[in-house]
Amino acid sequence: MKLTWYGHSAFRIEAADATILIDPFLTGNPSWDKGWEDAAEGVTHVLLTHGHNDHVGDALAILKKTGAMLVANFEICMYMVGQGVDQSKINPGNHGGTVDCGGFTTTFVQALHSSSFGADDGTNTYLGNPAGLILHFHGERTLYHMGDTDIFSDMALINELHQPQIGLVPVGDRFTMGGAVAALACRRFFDFETVIPCHFGSFPIIDQSADKFVDGMAGAGADVLTPSVGEAIEL
């Protein structure tokens, strides 16, 4: 499995004959200034955890250009159809549900956050409930992108049901867990082999580093990776 972090919560994952973009906030991402075209090369699936602009990002342009499958909640999928995405290319779900994506499945789990898309005039379009995404790959380790969330005790059930080995964990505070709380969540509720912090360093009002998370994970037994933006790593 190859993983590339583009800053904030945007990831590219190549595994099981699939090339996946999760929350592809690329244009306008302060951590990334190279556009979306290269990141979207060969993409087969676009997964969205929720509807905020800094997570939907370039999804519409990428979906129209590539014909990739959109995997998201029902409201996001239908919003994208309304914006011109081919309805045959959507794969909607919601909390507790699992959808077959060909080569892997995606299960929607709870996230404590909000979800709407903001227009330039200040209005917001409701886009369903925010989610975390569990990716079960055929022949690969299971990955959990937590989306934007606080800690919650039912994370223990997520671990019991899915046993994710890789965690993509928001740590930036203010809009998500801060680093210390995110480390507590990982230590108390999961048995991750590898954890990668995200949702930090992009905007001035959130934490600029993952140091609090890294410190909190000391001695936890998981590999804590903080890849450079745009760096592809093998997992």
Give 73-106 pLDDT, tens digit per residue: 999 999 999 999 999 999 999 999 999 999 999 9
Q: What's the alpha-carbon Rg for the chain, to the nearest Å?
A: 16
| Residue listed under structure tokens 């244009």 | 27
Domains by residue range for the chain, with CATH:
2-234 (3.60.15.10)
| Residue listed under structure tokens 């140091």 | 211
Query: Nearest CA to 15 among 198, 233, 226?
Result: 233
- pLDDT at residue 16 greater than cutoff 90: no
- pLDDT at residue 56 greater than cutoff 90: yes
The residues facing 11 across adjacent strands are 5, 22
CA–CA distance, 112 with 139 (Å, rounded to integer)? 30
Q: What mean pLDDT, rounded, does the chain reach?
A: 98
Token pair recorded at residue 146 = 């937590």
CA–CA distance, 122 with 120 (Å, rounded to integer)? 5
E strand map for the chain: 2-5, 11-15, 18-22, 45-47, 69-73, 90-93, 98-100, 104-110, 116-118, 124-126, 131-137, 143-145, 166-170, 194-198, 223-224, 232-234
- pLDDT at residue 160 greater than cutoff 90: yes
Token pair recorded at residue 150 = 């606080």
**Type of residue found at 201:** G
pLDDT at 144: 99
- pLDDT at residue 122 greater than cutoff 90: yes
pLDDT (mean) for 187-196 = 98
pLDDT (mean) for 225-231 = 97
Q: Treating both helix axes as pointing N-terminal to C-terminal, what angle do 59-66 and 74-82 enclose, rounded to 10 degrees?
A: 70
Query: Nearest CA to 132 among 113, 118, 117, 145?
Result: 145
pLDDT (mean) for 101-125 = 97
Phi, psi of 82 (to 5 degrees): -65, -20
Token pair recorded at residue 163 = 């046993």
Dihedral of alpha carbons 79, 11, 138, 133, sign? negative
| Residue listed under structure tokens 């979207």 | 40
- pLDDT at residue 32 greater than cutoff 90: yes
Residue 186 makes CB contacts below 8 A (sequence gap 6+) with 167, 169, 192, 195, 217, 220, 222
pLDDT at 53: 98
CA–CA distance, 102 with 16 (Å, rounded to integer)? 9
